[in-house]
Amino acid sequence: MSEVKGTGRVKRGMAEMLKGGVIMDVVNAEQAKIAEDAGAVAVMALERVPADIRAQGGVARMSDPDMIEKIQAAVSIPVMAKARIGHFVEAQVLQSLGVDYIDESEVLTPADYENHIDKWDFTVPFVCGATNLGEALRRINEGAAMIRSKGEAGTGDVSNAMQHMRKIGGEIRRLSSMREDELYVAAKELQAPYELVKEIAQTGKLPVVLFTAGGIATPADAALMMSMGADGVFIGSGIFKSGNPAQRAAACVKATTFWNDAKVVADASRGLGEAMVGINVADLPAPHRLADRGW
Amino acid sequence: MKVGVLALQGDVREHVSALIACGIDPIQVRRVNELAEVDALVLPGGESTTIVQLAQIFGLFEPIKNRIASGMPVYGSCAGMILLADTILDAKEGQKTFGGLDITVRRNAFGRQVDSFESDITFADGSTDLIKAVFIRAPWVEKIGANVQVLASVDSHPVAVRSQKLLATSFHPELTGDHRIHRYFIEEVAKPALEKVK
């Protein structure tokens, strides 16, 4: 009986277990406990939520290992952490800490403006952001075991996440409707490997779990993303930048499960207090848009 | 026979596909009226803390617990095993389970995700063929009661157990496309249990 760790099935399977759930950004053990109590399927441990990274500026990096370990000790659910795009040493550090998933994230300042991390080299699975199908397939080709829409993190404006989900879904539907002899050019246009393009044309879906992220701040936002075909939702700044985090977190969990029942979403939306203030993506100068990071 | 899959969170879709492959037309159970329609239930993989939380909020916790206590056949994989266990270790403070299966289960016993693995193991359903078992932050069984039978083990830790009407595995047969465990649940656990009732 031989045991094999870190196989594709084990990495992608881990994401399957998160489906229908909400993954919440937390900056300390106390917030992690609130998230777990509210029914989060996992937490993302980071030093500053995207809204603060945006407000404070500077270079955003991997979190302090001490802080990640405190969160790991505080909760029984999976703990994820972010590495900078292309920063494979940060990823090695996070793997050595035993984090359950690494987010190679555009929210942090990229370490490499050409290459992403070769994720096949790792036992720990990776999630990566994408704004369109070609980007998603390039990340999967590099070994990502889970994809999330990028949205525009730290804004509370759901419009970019919506745009990315529509784009990814639309491009998958387009491939499904193509003749087989058209897929070569489709692969060229998507700048994605032909084998993955062909697989998607046949199955009509990504070979990994697709979550959504970036700007989700309310139960209705979460339900909207689920109805666009997301398998689950990341909520970053939306929870702990709001008036009543515990209640809002639980409300988003409910709305994610019952996304197709407007009555449940309505009940979940009642009396939550102030949502995060938010920034319109259109008001952000282009150099400050995080979704454009990644190639 | 109507079989439900508890569809609050987790890899519901994979269990639905596995049951369809066994000739079952499964019902996704999110509400009490849907629970009332089914003769047997599958508890999927996922986060046990989240599933219990949602079951409590949406009034499914007591009804499921009562149905199990009154003899509904249930199969649980991974989180589903935790939910069926009478006693759990390394749990979130105050974490409840539906219970019914006289076992003590340790959560995340095989370690974190970096320790997750797959392995070919034997399963005591009469066949000597190995079965591909995928373990993801998996629990194991630490103690079993008198009426519980061990069907598979890894390094002497039980990873598949059954009582008369309840089956639990700490691995995920729904991820492999091999439907042997689901077929075993339908043919060897659920059908005999339901025929006795008739």
Q: Decide if B172 is catalytic.
A: yes
Tell me the pLDDT tens digit for each residue of A18-60: 999 999 999 999 999 999 999 999 999 998 888 888 888 889 9
Cα A148 to Cα A168: distance, rounded to the nearest angstrom: 10
Q: How remote is the C-alpha of A122 from its chain's centroid?
A: 19
**What does the pLDDT average to over A167-193?**
97
Which residue is catalytic, options A11, A19, A70, A82?
A82
The chain-wide mean pLDDT, for chain A, equals: 95
Chain A, nearest residue to B94 by Cα:
A37
Q: How confident is the model at residue B2 (pLDDT cuts 50, 70, 90)?
A: very high
Q: Shortest Cα distance from B83 to chain A (angstroms)?
A: 15
**How high is the pLDDT of residue B198?**
65
Q: What is the residue type of B153? A: S
Q: Decide if B188 is catalytic.
A: no
Q: How confident is the model at residue A275 (pLDDT cuts 50, 70, 90)?
A: confident
Query: Class assignment of domain B3-197?
Result: alpha beta
Q: Decide if B182 is catalytic.
A: no
Contact predicate B108/A73, CB 8 Å: no
Q: Shortest Cα distance from A240 to chain B (angstroms)?
A: 19
CB pair distance less than 8 Å for B120 and A2 = yes
**What does the pLDDT average to over A195-207?**
97
User: Strand ranges (DSSP E) for chain B?
Assistant: 3-6, 27-29, 40-43, 74-77, 85-89, 101-106, 117-122, 130-135, 140-144, 149-154, 157-162, 166-169
**How high is the pLDDT of residue A6?**
94
**How high is the pLDDT of residue A290?**
87
Q: How confident is the model at residue B122 (pLDDT cuts 50, 70, 90)?
A: very high
CB pairs under 8 A between A and B: 134
Q: Residue B69 in 3-state DSSP?
A: helix
ipTM of the complex: 0.95
Closest CA to B102 of B145, B50, B155, B58: B145
Chain B, nearest residue to A101 by Cα:
B113
Tell me the pLDDT tens digit for each residue of A221-233: 999 999 999 999 9
Q: Shortest Cα distance from B190 to chain A (angstroms)?
A: 25
Contact predicate B32/B196, CB 8 Å: no
Q: How confident is the model at residue B111 (pLDDT cuts 50, 70, 90)?
A: very high
CB pair distance less than 8 Å for A18 and B46 = yes
**How high is the pLDDT of residue B143?**
97
Chain A, nearest residue to B122 by Cα:
A1
The owner of tokens 């190639």 is A295
